[in-house]
Structure 1
């Protein structure tokens, strides 16, 4: 490890940095599901840029197409002016993704990141309904700007705003109370009772699988009931698919198996295919008509390099076998994690999530953090999630081959074994 280069980071970069603390090495190369540091050590990447690299690092077809575009002096920056790259992406997205799913949305480019997409969704929902409140759910995470933070549950991140975050009542997510009680019955009771203190909101926003919140997966019937409640009360439904979308849970949109059609969908991270900053907000055309031109904009909402790679990435989805392969490999992940929980009862683990967005929640304080730490030592990159970092989560690229997936899962088992050994050593009485 080159401590000198890490010392540069320590000396010059803000103390707000985080991932370099968890993965203290200098990376120099990446391809597919692997990364290498400057010492030549190889790592399997089960982090995937926190879900921004669903197709892995430097996917060859996207790289080739992007290099050709740049060398041909293709437009780099154009705000929301027309470009060939934008037209190609819009047509491809409509033909490959929206039309086959019988979805009718206007495509908005709100800015380069997920929080930009969420901010635009909140803004149009309030404008369309004339209401101020937006109901969010426990353990939800929607971004780090003020509007997005107001619908985010994490207390540490909320405190960073430095001001009161208002107009967002929080309701219990599916299974939040850990009982057979239906949390949506509780929510609807608040809407029905004029004395509840909760006004009819402009919208409800939720993640089908809560990435940062602990890999909590809502049941399909819960999502369908939430959609029905919104329709019954004239409330707009926003699905934040920034992390769970683009195949991460087994289908392009994470909400497809539930049979719902949200009014607004937020996409970012892997929608650009290659890891370039890119976000979309999909809006019901009736709502979209309410925008005044330029009412929501951003200097980098026309990232043509991302248009190029995003259009190329959609070729994966032209073949139904690709989606099927994700689901098949998802079953392998589930079986291996279930066996891990069974074989190592000392970690007191519980399976979380679905698809390529799964993890294990441990009831042992600090255990999941120790697993992630040991995994890095063994050559695998993954992170933790949840309010107390109680979940170690797997985010492999969705196009990883079975050999790479199995190798990564083997390293996770090795990390669990190491973490259990460390935990037992910590309990050894002094002098023994």
Structure 2
């Protein structure tokens, strides 16, 4: 087979391309937590499609269900018409996920991406409350369309909008200023003082663990207090679980540990199971005041994704799956803590929760160096944060422990290489 000429991407694909610059290879095959390029090189995947592949690549059960469905000439595209795969998914999602967690949500299918579900959530919150403003948080990331960008903190991303991004007030996320200061004191003062200039908003939107913003995990008590503030001031709470959800933090929803019941929840990425585009906007039944067709999207009826998503939900029928995620998360946490202690020149801080972890480097360039060294050694891993100061571990939640440990060994080798340390440091 002829080798791909990389010039085709350089000459014909837009300069906006990103990940192919960090991972300069032509990938041809993937299975589980392993990818291969056309030269036969093998890579452990600690990227997982930026959280879209929490169940790994080409899961056998999902693949077989999808192949069987395609071969039976099942409906592919249906907008929001009734189909049997959609009915099966809705039934499974309610029985396996919502009911056992005591959650009662209506399910809306917007367009099939993360930014689509956020746009739907913002629109619904404004429609329900009759208010225009949204409170977002520093370092939050919610998508690349105009509404989602307006509640995103990253200045570089916001600049791409080309127009003013309005009707949003940004407040400091947990620990944004110092570890000692409760930033909700600041928010509460703005909500209660008549001279603050901040009107009561329609909603607050946040990630319980900020992915692109630097793997910042809000404390349980901070999240619980924020929910109380929302209730006191009749503000809707929107949790963006596009990246932090579907097992990434150790539970299906990232807010379960804090015992929250958000008014609106945004899901996408791994909800489809197989990497197929799918998004859900969940909201309390009393908020369902949409008129038919008031918000829609041509590809909201992705039946192939309904098929694989239903198979993916089978994993959550017993506690064993969640327990296995939490065991692997504990292994990762111990490893990262040890790395920070063994390599003080890294000046690192462990960030995140569950299998959404990373190390923040005081020297921002070090995180990128570690990720680049890891790729040379056969590990795919990205960086996060405004200055790409965090190297970010996002293995599939289904990754075998031996593969996970092999990836962690590569990370330690890469840290040594980035720091210019030639010999291993003994524990």
Shorter chain as normaliser: what TM range? over 0.9
Deviation of 1:3 after TM superposition, in Å, equals 8.2
What TM-score does the superposition give when structure 1 sets the normalisation length? 0.96
Q: State the distance in 2 between where 1:365 and 1:259 align.
A: 35
1:202 counterpart residue number? 202
SS of the residue 1:169 aligns to: strand
SS of the residue 2:364 aligns to: coil
Q: State the distance in 1 between where 2:233 and 2:3 align.
A: 58
Q: State the distance in 1 between where 2:407 and 2:203 align.
A: 40
Mapped contact 2:325–2:398 kept (Cα < 8 A):
yes
2:74 counterpart residue number? 74
Across the two proteins, how many residue pairs are aligned to each other?
421
Q: State the distance in 2 between where 1:130 and 1:23 align.
A: 46
Q: State the distance in 2 between where 1:365 and 1:203 align.
A: 34
2:425 counterpart residue number? none
SS of the residue 1:393 aligns to: strand
2:191 counterpart residue number? 191
Instruction: Say yes or no: does 1:211 pair with 2:240.
Output: no
Mapped contact 2:329–2:354 kept (Cα < 8 A):
yes
Q: State the distance in 1 between where 2:275 and 2:45 align.
A: 14
2:294 counterpart residue number? 295
Q: State the distance in 2 between where 1:93 and 1:386 align.
A: 33
Instruction: Please show how residues 135-154 of structure 1 align to structure 2 within 5 Å.
Output: 135-154=135-154
1:366 counterpart residue number? 365
Give the superposed CA RMSD. Answer: 1.1
Q: State the distance in 1 between where 2:260 and 2:421 align.
A: 46
* CA distances 1:329-374 after superposition (whole Å, capped 9, x unpaired): 1000000000011111111000000100000000013000000000
Mapped contact 1:47–1:382 kept (Cα < 8 A):
yes
Q: State the distance in 2 between where 1:225 and 1:192 align.
A: 15
2:322 counterpart residue number? 323
Deviation of 1:179 after TM superposition, in Å, equals 3.5
Mapped contact 2:89–2:306 kept (Cα < 8 A):
yes
SS of the residue 2:194 aligns to: coil
Instruction: Please show how residues 82-93 of structure 1 align to structure 2 within 5 Å.
Output: 82-93=82-93
SS of the residue 2:204 aligns to: strand
1:429 counterpart residue number? none
Deviation of 1:5 after TM superposition, in Å, equals 2.4
Instruction: Say yes or no: does 1:412 pair with 2:411.
Output: yes
Q: State the distance in 2 between where 1:69 and 1:27 align.
A: 27
Mapped contact 1:135–1:171 kept (Cα < 8 A):
yes
1:100 counterpart residue number? 100
Deviation of 1:379 after TM superposition, in Å, equals 0.3
Q: State the distance in 2 between where 1:415 and 1:380 align.
A: 10
Mapped contact 1:237–1:263 kept (Cα < 8 A):
yes
Instruction: Say yes or no: does 1:171 pair with 2:167.
Output: no
Q: What stretches of structure 2 of length at least 5 have no aligned partner? A: 423-427
Deviation of 1:4 after TM superposition, in Å, equals 5.1
Mapped contact 2:3–2:38 kept (Cα < 8 A):
no
* CA distances 1:308-349 after superposition (whole Å, capped 9, x unpaired): 000000000012110011011100000000001111111100
Mapped contact 1:144–1:157 kept (Cα < 8 A):
yes
* CA distances 1:193-233 after superposition (whole Å, capped 9, x unpaired): 11111110000000000000000000011000000000000
2:333 counterpart residue number? 334
Mapped contact 2:268–2:279 kept (Cα < 8 A):
yes
Q: State the distance in 1 between where 2:18 and 2:116 align.
A: 21
Q: State the distance in 1 between where 2:333 and 2:313 align.
A: 26
Mapped contact 1:205–1:238 kept (Cα < 8 A):
yes
Which runs of at least 4 in structure 1 moved beyond 3 Å after TM superposition? none
Q: State the distance in 2 between where 1:285 and 1:150 align.
A: 27
1:272 counterpart residue number? 272
Q: State the distance in 2 between where 1:77 and 1:309 align.
A: 15
SS of the residue 1:258 aligns to: coil
Instruction: Say yes or no: does 1:354 pair with 2:353.
Output: yes
Q: State the distance in 2 between where 1:68 and 1:311 align.
A: 14
SS of the residue 2:168 aligns to: coil
SS of the residue 1:256 aligns to: coil
1:430 counterpart residue number? none
SS of the residue 1:163 aligns to: coil
2:394 counterpart residue number? 395
Mapped contact 1:5–1:26 kept (Cα < 8 A):
no
Mapped contact 1:242–1:268 kept (Cα < 8 A):
yes
1:383 counterpart residue number? 382
Instruction: Say yes or no: does 1:28 pair with 2:43.
Output: no
What TM-score does the superposition give when structure 2 sets the normalisation length? 0.98
Q: State the distance in 2 between where 1:245 and 1:59 align.
A: 19
Mapped contact 2:364–2:390 kept (Cα < 8 A):
no
